[in-house]
Amino acid sequence: MNQKTAVKQLNTLKKLTPKTLRLAAEWPKKYQVLIATILSAQTKDETTIKISKILFKKYPSMKALSNAKQKTLEKIIRPVNYHKTKSKHIIATAKVLVGKKIPKTIEELIKLPGVGRKVANVYLAEAEKADTIGVDTHIKRISQKLGWTKNRHPHKIERDLEKIFPKKYWSSINYIVVMFGRTIGKNRRKEDEVLKKIRQSKNL
């Protein structure tokens, strides 16, 4: 896979997806971006957004979240997968960050409870406009189908994409591919047909 083809494929995906949808990580405040991204793991964006709205209304700051009762938090985020574990992680992370700025490096972010590379990368791309690639299930699936990577491990996929795409595209890859996955990808047969056409296009 050469760089020019990969970029054209990415731009084709972008044209095929509506611009009206929002991702789980899209929030005005940085603490909201981080917490919503923690919540989004293994959970549909629609569910994460709905629950996050309720959560942020009740806890309008990192300090408020740090004082939350775990059982109360569990009830609020129950529709989210792994809600008990995430409740514990969110409160612990909030306690660490009260009165501090959220870290701006992956190395520091992944030290926070509930924050792995995917969460850290998505946070940095969304909140800090950093050149990072967050690898979730959509990225993993579609990158393999388009031939951007042969790896299955998220970290290795991240490295493969960094090699193929110019740095200026990194922060938009997650957004574009996830949007495609959430829309066209709802029907996997249709997704396969569309991706096959993209792979076989002589214009790319």
What's the rounded Cα separation, in Å, for the pair 52 and 25? 10
**Residue 73: HSE in the Cβ half-sphere, 13 Å Cα cutoff:** 23
End-to-end alpha-carbon separation of the chain, Å?
A: 11
What's the rounded Cα separation, in Å, for the pair 24 and 158? 20
C-beta contacts of 135-140 below 8 A and 24+ residues apart: 135/161, 135/174, 136/174, 136/178, 137/181, 138/177, 138/178, 138/180, 138/181, 138/182, 138/185, 139/173, 139/174, 139/177, 139/178
Q: Which is catalytic among the residues 29, 104, 118, 167?
A: 118
Our answer to whether residue 118 is catalytic in this structure is yes
Catalytic residues: 118
